[in-house]
Amino acid sequence: MLTPTAIVFVVTVAALLAGAMLLHATLRLTRRDGRIHRGVARAPGADAIVFFFTAAPQVAGPIVAGWGGLGAAVAGQIVALGVWIAGHEIVHRGRTRGRPRIHTTLRGLVGGWRNHFAVWWTALAVPVFWLIRLAEIFVYPPLTWTVRLPRYRMAEWINLSRHKFDGLVGYDLIWCLYCDWMTGVWSLGSEMLRNVESFWCPIRFADPAKCANCRVDFPDVAEGWVAADGSLEDVATLLREKYGPGVNAWFGHPTRLTIDSKPVDEG
Contact 225, 198 (CB under 8 A): yes
pLDDT in tens, 173-217: 999 999 999 999 999 999 999 999 999 999 999 999 999 999 999
| 182 vs 257: CA distance, rounded Å | 29
Torsion (CA) 202, 204, 205, 207 in degrees, nearest 10: 170
Nearest to 159 by CA among 133, 185, 129, 194: 185
Count other C-beta atoms under 10 Å from residue 29's C-beta.
10
pTM across the whole model: 0.88
Q: Is 123 exposed, middle or buried (0-12, 13-18, 19+ CB in 10 A)?
A: middle
**Average pLDDT, stretch 251-258?**
73
Cα angle for residues 188, 189, 190 (degrees, 5° grid): 90
The H helix count followed by the E strand count for the chain is 13, 0
Q: pLDDT band for 130, please (50, 70, 90 cuts).
A: very high
pLDDT over 80 at 37, yes or no: yes
Domain ranges of the chain: 4-192, 201-266
